[in-house]
Amino acid sequence: MSDLPDGVTRRDVEGRERLCTRGRPVYGEPTDGDWRVWDASRSKLGAMLELGMETGLTGGESVLYLGAANGTTVSHVADFAGPTYAVEFAARPVRDLLEAAEPRSNLFPLLKDARKPATYAHVVEANLDVVVQDVATRGQASVANRNARFLAEDGRLLLAVKARSEDVAERPEEVFDEVRSELEERYEILAESRLDRFHTDHLGIVARPR
């Protein structure tokens, strides 16, 4: 099992060991004092950590989170990270994201399209430590490649690939092969793991810029 970043721990909550961060609850998750459960079945990054993937996260990183939705995962990220930029395209979940960001001074919601990084390049700082991507759209590798511009040379991409968003008819293994091939234009893949224990037909990838 890989080491967890500072600010993330495992605690006994409701009779079993659960991944937790310290912060204000967002989605009605179980808590233990100041600690809130990080439910891997609701979070691709949480699943990557639960499965022991070597994400390279240590705590305190600067983060660009693509596909923040209503803030379920990115709120946990902001609990242990440094400045965290949360990009979400749909207006409705951004309302929840704004609520999640209210008590977190390091969480910056952006109503933007992750496929168009030029629209938020004036806001997001350069040389970030981490890009986390969970975008349910076609062209997930393309999104990652376009956003590589924000990463430091020794930064990390933590990507959750949803096969059904690329092609509902194609076998997930074939989709993942295609995503890997395109991703390797800009990244070196360091680790990968199927996330099916928590998320069907998903692949977690850890990569660094070439």
Q: Would the annotation count 31 as a binding residue? A: no
For domain 39-209, is the CATH number 3.30.565.10?
Answer: no
Return contacts of 185-188, CB within 8 angstroms, 24+ apart: 185/145, 186/144, 186/145, 186/148, 186/210, 187/144, 187/145, 187/148, 187/157
What is the model's pLDDT at position 3? 84
- Is the full-model pTM beyond 0.75? yes
Q: What is the pLDDT of residues 133-183, one digit of tens each?
A: 999 999 999 999 999 999 999 999 999 999 999 999 999 999 999 999 999
Q: Would the annotation count 153 as a binding residue? A: no
Residues 208 and 210: their CA atoms lie apart, in Å, by: 7
Q: Would the annotation count 72 as a binding residue? A: yes
Q: Would the annotation count 135 as a binding residue? A: yes
Q: Would the annotation count 136 as a binding residue? A: yes
Count CB-CB contacts under 10 A for residue 69: 20
Q: Would the annotation count 113 as a binding residue? A: yes
Q: Report CA 200 to chain centroid distance, whole Å.
A: 17
What are the residue boundaries of the structural domains of the chain, listed by start?
A: 39-209
Which residues in the chain land under pLDDT 50? 1
What is the model's pLDDT at position 2? 59
What is the model's pLDDT at position 29? 97
Q: Would the annotation count 163 as a binding residue? A: no
Q: Would the annotation count 73 as a binding residue? A: yes
Residues 157 and 43: their CA atoms lie apart, in Å, by: 16
Closest alpha carbon to 144 in 107, 111, 175, 187: 187
